[in-house]
Amino acid sequence: MKTGLFFGSFNPIHLGHLMIASYMIEFTDIQDVWFIISPHNPLKEKSTLLPDVNRLYMVNVAVEDEPRFKASNIEFHLPRPSYTINTLTYLQEKYPAHEFILLAGSDILDSLHKWKNFEQLLDQYRFYIYPRHCEESHHRCDDEATPTNALTTHPSITFIDAPMVEISASFIRNAIQEGKNMQYFLPAKVWEYLDRMGFYR
């Protein structure tokens, strides 16, 4: 089975995440998508990052009605800091019948060479790259969303012509802090939970 791995803090998970995951299933050979929630990195500022358990809950309620989506807290139980290569090694050993494919925005190609064992990642796994807006990814704006570097022609890199989703978690957090109603940017149960708990205000 070809399984897409969607890594992120999901702080919070929003409709843009679900749209990308759905596109991957409907328009590529991926059969299901696992949302890998990243744990808090103790070395980084966490002023706006909700605790792991709250973000896991939101992903769970966001995907519970779609059997091809799965929330995973696997990185909560692995040594930290979390390195993608370590997570993939663990998952491949635990689920040998799955072919794992990494789903990532086009902005990662500018920094992939800094990832731990990035050459091993490219040798052993495939990346499906979707377009990501420069402002969301905090990168310099170019005429095209696809970075131009040596990795764009790597055989493990496949560009997926998914719609560009210009929704970011930071935009949603900031809007909520300003008192905006963001319910239509989020799955209904996620919005209800955020509103009830008073998160990001």
Phi-psi region of 117 (alpha: psi -120 to 50; beta: other; left: phi over 0): left
pLDDT for 164: 92
Neighbours of 169 (CB within 10 A): 21
Please write the tens of the pLDDT for every residue from 63-89.
999 999 999 999 999 998 889 999 999
DSSP β-bridge partners for residue 42 = none
pLDDT for 12: 98
pLDDT along the chain (201 residues), means of 10: 97 98 98 95 71 97 98 95 94 97 94 93 97 54 50 93 92 97 98 97 93
Laid out side by side, the sheet with 126-130 consists of: 69-72, 32-37, 2-8, 99-105, 126-130, 157-159
User: Both tokens of residue 9?
Assistant: 């803090």
**Domains of the chain and any CATH numbers:** 2-168 (3.40.50.620)
- Give, in order, the Cα–Cα distances in Å from 18 to each of 39, 70, 150: 20, 11, 30
CA 79 to chain centre: 20
pTM: 0.90
* Residue ranges in 42-125 assigned as alpha helix (H): 52-63, 84-94, 118-124
pLDDT for 160: 96
* Residue ranges in 80-177 assigned as alpha helix (H): 84-94, 118-124, 134-137, 169-177
Q: Are 53 and 91 in contact (CB under 8 A)?
A: no
N-term to C-term CA, the chain: 41
Sequence-distant (≥ 6) Cβ neighbours of residue 151 within 8 angstroms: 109, 112, 113, 122, 157
pLDDT for 152: 86
Neighbours of 90 (CB within 10 A): 14
pLDDT for 143: 40
